[in-house]
Amino acid sequence: MYLRQGQQLNHGKYTIQQMLGQGGFGITYLATTADGEQVAIKEFFMKDACMRQDDSMRVTVPTEGVREDVERYRKKFIKEANNLLRLRHPNIVAVYEVFEENDTDYYAMQYMPGGSLRDHVRQFGPMDEPTARSYVLQVASALRYMHERKHLCHYDVKPGNILIDGEGQAMLIDFGLSKNYDGSGQQTSSTP
């Protein structure tokens, strides 16, 4: 069960407008701020392990047997959010804040109304070479910044993880598989 239109998060700072999508580990919503700005909110919600009662926003884990797995993936979700929070590049989706509420975690990020490259190709067919080259160069710029300045490797670059805005900007998203490295190239995370 997902959050419904009109429900509020973070002490009324965000109002849910609609669900945008759900994956195995989270639900993404379109929300508005009190100023009317549109943002995307990602909620940690393991599809096969978490529950929510119809009349509640609170997320529960129904059995002790899966609680440990849920907590492990919740920590990964927070790691992804914090990795994104520290990245500042014009081709990486901006995360505004990470917060806990309803016995789960959320992060608010830049909303990209243009959909993904995958969606674009499915809807309009193959793109022309100059457009494709532009997107490749933008994503390459984001990856260079991540590798050289933040010692972070994405590990899941694909058309579904590249969003497009209305002005031809490509934005890299979904850092759930990313890994941190130290200056010598040694992995600093042991998550498989």
Q: What band does 192 get if pLDDT is binned at 50, 70 and 90?
A: very low
Question: For residue range 107-157, what is the model confidence (pLDDT) as tens digits?
Answer: 999 998 888 899 989 999 999 999 999 999 999 999 999 888 877 777 778
The residues carrying an active-site annotation are 156
CB contact at 8 A, 57 and 45: no
| Sequence-distant contacts of 33-42: CB under 8 A, at least 24 apart | 38/111, 38/113, 39/14, 39/96, 39/108, 39/109, 39/110, 39/111, 40/108, 40/109, 40/110, 40/111, 40/112, 41/9, 41/14, 41/16, 41/106, 41/107, 41/108, 41/109, 42/81, 42/106, 42/107, 42/109
